[in-house]
Amino acid sequence: MGESGGRARGPAKEHRTVSRVTTILETVAADPHGVRLSVLAGALDAPKTSVHGLVKGLVATGYLHEQGGAYLLGPAVGALLPTPGTPLVDAARPAMQKLRAEFDETVMIGTLVGDSVVYLESIESTQLIRYSAPLRKRRPLYPTSIGKCLLANLDRASREAYLREHFPDPDERARVERELADIAADGVAYNRGETVPDVSAVAGPVLSHRADAGTAAVSIAGPTTRVADRLDEMAAAVRTAVQEITYRLR
């Protein structure tokens, strides 16, 4: 007996849109140098206008990345699937270990996936009470400290589009814009209990031009009662860490 009141389920049938999306991803995955829209249209035997909408949707959700008019696999492919390691995580791990050793608080690295942040790696505090980061799950960019860094370093059009959608009130949007401008200037972002009550964090952006590194940031987080008086000290250490990671990604 099958499910749904005993109905036997028939064989799976191909879905046109799903097939087109998988063909796009498979075609892009086969070429590390990127694939242009015209090539994707040829692979699908479909008009560019039809393919363009699918491609833009995959870019918006982080499954594709546009670079110089060509499309490459985006950060969502690696960020949402457990993998043994990525160039970004491998480059970041030594600096993250130093931060954990210095402060014994949880250290994370996260990346931009569509309009969300995904934590790729976490080295947790050894203390009994500590912050435990949820890995490989989409989380809002704002107000996480990593997400604030990513927002502050987005291109202007993408950042403004995100703020218009998530902060419809003009005064609130202006406040967030000022905060992001300060983050871009200072190189660090703070989160003082804005995401999780009684947890504070500081993060810094990893600014790399490598296509396989993506846009990322590193953060230290812990109970506010323990880290509040050390946030400036942590910020200085985070700045040093992201410089080390950026150097390793060259």
Which residue matches tokens 């796009």? 24
Least confident of 120-134, 185-199, 201-215: 201-215
Q: Can you give the pLDDT at residue 32?
A: 85
Cα torsion angle, 42, 81, 219, 146, sign: positive
What's the pLDDT score for residue 209? Answer: 66
Task: Give the residue from 17, 242, 249, 231 showing the smallest Cα distance to 149.
Answer: 242
Q: What angle is formed at CA 153 by the lines to CA 120 and CA 157, rounded to 5 degrees? A: 115
pLDDT at residue 3, as a whole number: 45
Look at residue 80 in the predicted model and tell me its pLDDT: 62
pLDDT at 137: 82
Q: Is the predicted pLDDT of residue 100 greater than 50, yes or no?
A: yes
CA 136 to CA 80: how far, in whole Å? Answer: 5
Q: Mean per-residue pLDDT for 22-48?
A: 89
Q: What pLDDT score was predicted for residue 152?
A: 95
pTM over 0.75: no
Q: With 90 as the cut, is the pLDDT of residue 181 above it?
A: yes
Tell me: pLDDT of 222 over 90: yes
Pairwise CA distance, residues 229 & 215, whole Å? 29
Mean pLDDT of the chain: 88
Is the domain covering 3-73 a CATH 3.40.640.10 domain?
A: no
Q: Give percent of the chain above pLDDT 70.
A: 89
Domain ranges of the chain: 3-73, 79-248
List Cα–Cα distances, 36 to 66, 135, 206, in angstroms.
9, 32, 28
Of residues 78 and 169, which shows the higher confidence score?
169
> Could you tell me which CATH number the domain at 79-248 has?
3.30.450.40
- Give 45-92 pLDDT, tens digit per residue: 889 998 999 999 999 888 898 888 999 988 787 766 655 567 888 999
